[in-house]
């Protein structure tokens, strides 16, 4: 069985044709834990039912996002969650990384890591459950707190998210 790295190097691999190298590199990182993807096209790679998420997608895009600080987004994570329509605008005002699909009853997050996506989805869960007043400040505080834990050598943990890729482990070789 060939490795994902070998797969990337093959000229026939869609990932070898991607314009953005960081998303391809992150997909390789995820493949080490998730295994071969469920779907691979010329611009996306998808795993279903992994690491507490309904779906994880890495896209061949590198979207500049300035909240809470400048970075690039390319990884999407989704969970099943029905969000009341009256929360749509306030969640959109909290973060452009929050993706709502009312028809499917699905919430997604677009960030630069699974850990940031998990923080984002937890924020939406807390808003829906009435545990927190939604605001951009509250959302950004959570992202900054997760990053501060990482920098201080601590792992961020959530009850529902197993973090099987060790994305929040400060010793994770991907982040060196």
Beta carbons within 10 angstroms of residue 96's beta carbon:
14
- E strands, the chain, where? 39-40, 44-50, 53-65, 71-80, 98-101, 106-111
Predicted pLDDT of residue 173: 83
90 token code pair: 């306030």
5 pLDDT more than 60: no
The sheet with strand 71-80 has its strands ordered as: 39-40, 44-50, 53-65, 71-80, 106-111, 98-101
**Cα Dmax for the chain:** 50
The model's pLDDT over 112-167, given as tens digits with 9 standing for 90+, comes to: 999 999 999 999 999 999 999 999 999 999 999 999 999 999 999 999 999 999 99
Predicted pLDDT of residue 67: 83
Averaged pLDDT for residues 21-27: 92
Average pLDDT of the chain, as a whole number: 91
* pTM, entire model: 0.90
Averaged pLDDT for residues 28-57: 95
Predicted pLDDT of residue 70: 83
Predicted pLDDT of residue 172: 85
The model's pLDDT over 30-44, given as tens digits with 9 standing for 90+, comes to: 988 999 999 999 899
Q: Residue 69 — very low, low, confident or very high, per pLDDT cuts 50/70/90?
A: confident
Predicted pLDDT of residue 14: 77
96 pLDDT more than 80: yes
6 pLDDT more than 90: no
Predicted pLDDT of residue 129: 98
Q: Residue 171 — very low, low, confident or very high, per pLDDT cuts 50/70/90?
A: confident
Q: Residue 2 — very low, low, confident or very high, per pLDDT cuts 50/70/90?
A: low
């Amino acid at each position: 069985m060939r490795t994902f790295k070998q797969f990337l190097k093959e000229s026939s691999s869609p990932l070898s044709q991607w314009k953005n190298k960081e998303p391809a590199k992150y997909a390789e990182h995820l493949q080490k834990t998730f295994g071969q993807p469920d779907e691979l096209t010329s611009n996306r790679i998808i795993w279903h039912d992994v690491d507490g998420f309904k779906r994880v997608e890495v896209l061949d895009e590198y979207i500049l996002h300035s909240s809470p600080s400048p970075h690039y987004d390319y990884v999407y994570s989704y969970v099943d969650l029905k969000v009341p329509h009256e929360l749509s605008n306030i969640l959109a005002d909290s973060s452009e990384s929050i993706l709502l699909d009312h028809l499917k009853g699905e919430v997604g997050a677009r960030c630069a890591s699974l850990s940031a996506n998990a923080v984002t989805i937890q924020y939406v869960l807390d808003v829906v459950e009435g545990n927190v007043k939604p605001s951009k400040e509250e959302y950004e505080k959570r992202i900054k707190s997760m990053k501060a834990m990482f920098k201080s050598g601590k792992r961020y943990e959530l009850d529902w998210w197993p973090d099987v890729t060790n994305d929040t482990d400060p010793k994770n070789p991907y982040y060196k």
